[in-house]
């Protein structure tokens, strides 16, 4: 993957925390034991293709199906890359026209939130290469939160997850049950609907963001989010990227 545009945010992780398969491809990318990770929004065509390849590989590894296509008017895609290789990706759908992927199976539950005036968005197509640092996952979620909540004014994340992953999302990000188990035709597997108010996510970022390994006994991913003081710079770069893409 070759990405020409400036990243939304960059950070360094120990080279040992980057997947072995990536290091075998790019041994020359390591410097003094550190590896730089860059996060892009709606990356170049090559970047999106690399993200799609990562998605297909990780979904196939878990035995899930995956519909083709990365682009959509009501969706953004984030790509984390190191040394020109995609190591993480996620998409974020916005409920601008009353339809999210989760509406296919959980539309009745989402309509309850809409009736309360909640503005919904749905993280989806999340894939992190095996062996990645926790910071890669945390960075993608944090950038998506800033874009959704601070810039676009959305109020809630709703997400469909396999029942096996429910405990992970509850413990690591604070999601809560919002719908029982139903069949999800898009991935050919059962799904459970979870919800997380973004004001709740913001409170966790303010408390734990940037602490990294100095987090004490906190078991969630929030210590691996960016520090609160970094949000202003990330927000400014996201806004600038949006302006550039609108003008293109």
State pLDDT tens for residues 76-122.
999 999 988 889 899 999 998 778 999 999 999 999 999 999 999 99
For the cut 70, the answer to whether the pLDDT of residue 61 exceeds it is: no
Distance separating alpha carbons of residues 72 and 93, to the nearest angstrom: 9
Select, from the ranges 32-36, 87-91, 123-127, 135-139, the one with the highest average predicted confidence (pLDDT): 135-139
Question: Which residue reads 């550039």 in tokens?
Answer: 244
Cα–Cα distance list, 112 to 26, 46, 51, 103 (Å): 48, 39, 33, 12
Average pLDDT over residues 164-182: 95
Cα 54 off chain centre by: 14
Instruction: Please give the structure tokens belonging to residue 100.
Output: 């999210």
Instruction: Return the percentage of the chain with pLDDT > 70, whole number.
Output: 81
Instruction: Please give the structure tokens belonging to residue 93.
Output: 């759908």
Question: Which residue reads 């987090």 in tokens?
Answer: 215
- The per-residue pLDDT for 123 is 95
Residue 107's H or E segment, with its range, is helix 103-115
User: pTM (2 decimals)?
Assistant: 0.86
- The per-residue pLDDT for 23 is 47
Distance separating alpha carbons of residues 45 and 176, to the nearest angstrom: 35
- Contact at 8 Å (CB) between 5 and 44? yes
């Amino acid at each position: 993957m070759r990405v020409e545009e400036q990243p939304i945010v960059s950070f360094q992780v120990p080279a040992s925390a980057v997947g072995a398969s990536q290091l075998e491809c790019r041994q020359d990318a390591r410097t003094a034991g550190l590896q730089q990770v860059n996060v892009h929004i709606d990356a170049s065509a090559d970047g999106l293709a690399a993200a799609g390849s990562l998605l297909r590989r990780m979904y196939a590894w878990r035995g899930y199906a995956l519909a083709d296509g990365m682009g959509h008017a009501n969706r953004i895609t984030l790509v984390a890359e190191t040394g020109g290789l995609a190591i993480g990706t996620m998409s974020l759908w916005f409920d601008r026209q009353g339809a999210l992927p989760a509406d296919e199976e959980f539309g009745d539950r989402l309509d309850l939130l809409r009736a309360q005036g909640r503005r919904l968005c749905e993280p989806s197509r999340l894939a992190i290469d095996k062996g990645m640092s926790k910071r890669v996952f945390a960075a993608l979620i944090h950038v998506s939160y800033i874009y959704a909540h601070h810039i676009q004014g959305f109020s809630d994340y709703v997400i469909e997850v396999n029942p096996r992953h429910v405990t992970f999302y509850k413990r690591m990000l604070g999601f809560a049950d919002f719908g029982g188990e139903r069949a999800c035709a898009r991935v050919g597997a059962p799904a459970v609907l979870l919800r997380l108010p973004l004001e709740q996510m913001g409170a966790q970022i303010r408390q734990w963001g940037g602490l990294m390994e100095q987090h004490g006994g906190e078991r969630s991913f929030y210590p691996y989010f960016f520090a609160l003081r970094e949000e202003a710079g990330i927000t400014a770069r996201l806004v600038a990227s949006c302006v550039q893409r609108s003008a293109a």
